[in-house]
Chains A and B, each alone.
Chain A
Amino acid sequence: MVPAAKHKDEEKRLKSLAALNILDSLPEKEFDQITQLASQICGTPIALVSLVDKDRQWFKAKTGTDASQTPREIAFCAHAILQDDVFVVEDATRDQRFIDNPLVTGEPHVQFYAGAPLFSPEGYPIGTVCVIDVMKKQLTAKQIEGLKILSHQVTQLLELKLQISKLKASEQKLAFKATASENITEGIVLQDCHGAIVDFNPAALLVLGLTADQLLGKTSTDPHWSSIREDGSDFPGIEHPAMICLNTGKKQIDVVMGIRTSTSGIRWIKINSVPLFMNQPSTLRPDYAVTSFADVTNLKKLESERRNLELQLSESARLSTLGEMASGIAHEINNPLAIIRGKISILKRKIDHRMFDINSAINDFQIIETTVDRIAKIIKGLRTYSRDADSDSFELTKALTIVEDTLALCNERFKIASIQLSVNCDSTIQLECKSAQISQVLMNLLNNSYDAVFALENKCITLTVKDDNNHVAFVITDSGSGIIKTNLNKIMQPFFTTKEVGKGTGLGLSIASGIAQAHGGSLTYDTAQKMTTFTLSLPKRQSQKTSVV
């Protein structure tokens, strides 16, 4: 007996057979019928659809036998797959290759065999349609042809089955995606290359407040849409993210649009639109735009409420600090008042007693005037400090003016506590800023320094203003103990404070930091310095329109 040689690409062949998922599958009518036909055409009692595996041949379908598989070494089909044509053995008892084959010498006593190879979709011979007889035989050319056709049919069948199972798998995936799109809260809309809406999910109708009839076929430029931008200006249809996506082929992300609903409200949606290219390269216009959007109306409301709260908080913080400074401020004003009153009383008395001396009177008037200015400065400082300057415009201001305004309010407080406050600011340094806010930041930093050195032996605070090319730096140092390491990353957080309850809201630095950032600058704590050092760095120029003070 001569067993068949292995196929030259046996590994690949076996792989492609395995991919068909046919081995050990249940019998199927289509295949059974093929064997019945083969048996009829060739006039043989036995016909098989056989698949040649690694160590066996396995029968997908059979007529005239109950066997389901045999070892490969004795398989006639193993020879058949080595050639393209039908493999015929007219008399096995006379063929050296099969004379002592157990299938010949024993059951089922094969004497005649003819097998037409069948192929996997990749083109490997994976088995046969074969016919077997117990006596020697010859087939006509037509019968051989018929056998070939049948094997061809089986090849087709196998390929179709494979396609169907692949389709089923993607159907499942699609079913999941379809369910997802039906149920998510984000709206999805499919628009064709002209912008007409061709498909959408249920959420799209809900978010837009429309019926399917109203939505289908509409384009983004349809006059029915009435939408606005975040700043309230008109949002023309041609600029809708889907249209821009279709016109540029580029995806549009996070575009916020306000839609006027029928109930005279505005619904805000956040839109993403991506282009869909079906068969073209991406240089041409997309075939579709897939647009998804979420209702962010609530978010926007919360955002604006949060903004209001922030403003209120910042006002509270300012007023609370103001409260702390109140007694110092009262003193600041009462002293000058006492001086003015006193001088006037003395002048009146001198006039009464005709002891009026012009020169000393002029001096006294000067003192009165200066003292009045002093009070005016304090009031100005108070007004600056307690005002909500958030809606101010950026104005070109001298740094020195800001410093003086700030000091007018807190100078006295520092003097009383015997704190050495030294100030260094060149009068030429200018910057575009909301000066009231900067004054508030400086006040906050100075107050913090005040608290830090108040109870110490060495009470030193310095305020230096530096010209840093295109930035201005306000550097405040104090001789206090500084910020401990573990608090370093918390100090700018709202409500963080190391002060006892009732003393300080903990909002100061976070608000100050916010003001710095709104100016495009920064508020930083320098850990490398010996003295506790905070630096407020602000750009000299603001990109928005500014006015000159």
Chain B
Amino acid sequence: MRLANVSILVVDDEPDLRDVLMDEFAYRGARVVGVANGKSAFALLQVESFDIVFSDVRMPGGNGVELIRNIHNLVEKKPIVFLCSGYSDLDLGEAQKFGVIKIFHKPYDMTDIIDSFLQVLEKRAPCRKAKG
């Protein structure tokens, strides 16, 4: 239960992929919500707080790039943002300016993702230690 007490918002327009991600995170104990695009994600973030936003980059109806920009401008309840991209040529530099921690490339390695989550969460709130 490495992700116990962690809340994650999964943003991806591919239902099957969203399901897989949500299943994987939920299995490790996280509270997961999934939405299909950036607009819905941002709307939800106004009313609900999440520790992590895990978002795909390209989606119709507001893609990941817009979303991270909008999140960046949030003052309160700012989640940590991770991107997951099918593009092999997306580079971190630009995204980092808007607070993106890391970009994962599909097909991703789940262990890698979980490790990164924990690393950042640890840094942010050292007392929030979850069991591995």
Contact = CB atoms under 8 A, between A and B. Distances in A.
Given A341-B107, A345-B24, A416-B58, A335 B14 contact: yes
A152 interface: no
B86 A331 contact: yes
A339 interface: yes
20 contacts: A327-B87, A327-B88, A330-B87, A335-B17, A335-B106, A338-B17, A339-B20, A340-B107, A342-B17, A342-B24, A342-B110, A345-B20, A346-B24, A367-B16, A371-B16, A415-B58, A416-B58, A416-B59, A416-B63, A418-B61
Interface string B79-114: 000000111110000000000000001111010000
Contacts of B27: 346, 349
A337 interface: yes
Contacts of A340: 107
The 5 A-B residue pairs with the shortest CB-CB distance, nearest first, are: A342-B20, A331-B86, A334-B86, A334-B106, A416-B58
A331 B58 contact: yes
Interface in A326-376: 327, 330-335, 337-343, 345-346, 349, 367, 371
A349 B17 CA distance: 17
Interface of A: 327, 330-335, 337-343, 345-346, 349, 367, 371, 415-416, 418
B116 to A, nearest CB: 16
A343 B58 contact: no
B35 interface: no
Nearest to B62: A418
A334 B107 contact: yes
A331 B87 contact: yes
Interface residues of B, number: 24
Contacts of B13: 415
Q: Which of A333, A338, A346 has the most CB of B within 10 A?
A: A338
B23 interface: yes
B60 A418 contact: yes
Given A342-B20, A345-B110, A346-B24, A335 B86 contact: yes
A346 B107 contact: no
A335 B20 CA distance: 12
A166 to B, nearest CB: 87
Contacts of B45: none
Interface in B53-69: 58-61, 63
B88 A330 contact: yes
A419 to B, nearest CB: 8
Contacts of A343: 16, 20
A349 B20 CA distance: 12
A339 B24 contact: no
A338 B107 contact: yes
